[in-house]
Structure 1
Amino acid sequence: MSKWSNYINPTVRQIPPSGIRRFFDLAAEMEGVISLGVGEPDFVTPWHIREACIYSLHRGSTTYTSNHGLLELREEIANYLGSQGVHYNPKKEILVTVGVSEALDLALRTLVCPGDEVIIPTPCYVSYLPCTELAGGVPVTVATSMEDQFRLTADKLEAVITPKSKVLLLCFPNNPTGAIMDRQNLLNIAEVVRKHDLLVISDEIYDRLTYTGHHTCFASLPGMQERTIVLNGFSKAYAMTGWRLGYAAANEEFIAAMTKIHQYTMLCAPITAQVSALEALRHGKSAMQDMVTQYNRRRRLVVHGFKEIGLPCFEPGGAFYAFPYIGHTGLTAAEFAESLLLEEKVAVIPGDVFGPGGEGCVRCSYASSLEDLTEALQRMGRFLKRRGLHNSKVVYL
């Protein structure tokens, strides 16, 4: 019989495994590792949210829901989005999904035809390029830079548009850089979107983790709601990663098309997670704000700490990631991450796994305790000192 690999779809065969998971798996095999790798809150889901789940099980809520999700939940999602300046019909314009990951996959498969170009600012979340390829699209990357605070500019967007351009995929606040976009930046982008008749997928999972300025929902910009699919969820703001619950909001035709795929693959998101998300939206604001306050303290600690030990780092305005520059060490991002893990047992993620623009940087999640972050910075300082780089006065140009 031929090799099993010969039977596998060539598109799947050529997609590399996640660079994040490689370092996560390495760290999991070692004792005493402080992981700044995986983007997961170190908080447990607040008790009242877990209690709502437990109570729903006692009541026997173990059935399917509508393909779209519980109407009560969609109504609360619509209320939240309304507070962000954009209004959706919860019956027809919101779809509850199994995490934002499913929402992204559905959005791409709904919009992208073979050969369509999807414009993706980088550095970006590791799944964006592979999911585009799996949908038959062609990812077109636009490298952002530390000099521009990792923001997409209208000029850079305009420069990559071709007759095949169809979708712009945005993520702000950004994973992995923590970059944010202010309203004027987004208005400039919206003008290019309108000019070239692009569609937009806006991943706003970190919207409530914004520390400087105010988050602007892309669909709230003039003329953008009709051409935008907004993705969001509960994993980051409410420490609900394992519950796997997200949602998409868009015009009725987009949501109806996405639901066709959803009903033949997932059918519906788990009812227990939906009940818990309903509790989070109704009564979780205080606990969420407490967690955001803690992230903000950690953000200031790590940015200051990196600069002190000689790693230039722009100040992230959102999410829970810092993206320090390590190019002056003489190591590639992969060499830096692997050596740091083996020598000092600190796990970080090489910036180049997030696409062009990430070279020479590493992603460090500060969703860890202050104690662990302080210890990690001390270990990284030792690591740099052995190379004669501790407290170096390097300025990123």
Structure 2
Amino acid sequence: MLEDGRIGERVRYWRLRRNLDRKQFADMVGRSTSWLDKIESGERDLTRLPMLERVAEVLDLDPSVLTDVATAKRTAQCVDATEVSAIRTALAHYPGVTVRSSDEVALPAIQRQADYLDHAWLASHFTVVARHLPALMRDAQTAVLTMSDADQVAAHRVLVTAYRLASSMLLKFEATDIAWLAADRAMHTALAATDTWSLARASRSVARAMASTHQRREAIAVLVDMTDRMRSEVNTDEHNLLSLYGMLYLASSITAAEQGDASLARAMHDEAMAAALRVTPHHDSHFTLFGQTNVLIHRVSALVRLHKAGNALEFAHTIGPPAVRALPPERRANYLLDLTEAHTAVGKYAQAARLLGQAEQTAPEEVRCRPLAHGLLRSLLNNTRGEPAKLVKQMADRAGVAA
């Protein structure tokens, strides 16, 4: 769709991505739906500059996104400012004030949508998450207000999931102020439900948001307090809670490493591994992918954050490649980004370039769209020669990154 010269197909792509139906969009540009159908099908060209600019304005795009193939491809692959703004707007919605009695949502439908977005996240399809997340937040907010007492915990869990996904994605793209708000909403929702599952998910989101604003000591306190709170319940309900319990320790280990506390990072890693050794195939991971492999790759990440790149690379050699390949794209790509950073830190730039290329193949949005990966690209642009330099230049071009 974005590789040929058809403007109409790009118009349709962005109309759908902006969640606009044909009638809405046609009205916004002051044309009929039949006119729009002809534009999108290619039967009619969008050649007049004023109308092209109007269409781009309604879609909140630069006109070049519709007319230039390279710009179109680069822009389509990443979450954009309009989608972040839509999440911000959804977070500004207070359902207790604005909900109408006629609003109805079906709990099974929003549960399926939450699962779908969790799967999209693990596949590193962040544009999919961004497109559908505001609607899920609104529907889950309505569900919490309108569901029967018997369905309240389930409705609260969907809303916690929506807020958690919002916070995680915004942190990935370094929009820390809004990420904090989403995480805080998740925690207040979980507290209202008095549900350990929800509290564990929300605690991790709040702690990550705290860590992103350099409140690492407070973040660790939140995580450790939650493990203390849920420990007895984990022993009686391992199936539902063990993976969430273990992930709190993993988050603690990473935060401690970011704080430069190697001993605490190791202690939290050991606690996480002890939990992972208790995991069996029948345990519900709740999309956390918690298990021994995830614990091991988090240890590599912690060592990188402790500026022990050599140790990180040594430890990585103890992790079996088949186990890593079994992880979903988001986890594999982030592990490859950690290895890229470690190889860069020890001056092995050719290997770093190769690993970054593997990360891009695994999850293109992780490399082409994330500020963290862009920083690695800039470093490698300045430090590679020959074939590795050519590979890095090609990746940088796809990501729109200059040296």
> TM-score, normalized by length of structure 2?
0.27
Q: Which has the larger radius of gyration?
A: 2
Q: Which has the higher helix share?
A: 2
Greater length-normalized contact order (CA 8 Å, ≥ 6 residues apart): 1
> TM-score, normalized by length of structure 1?
0.27
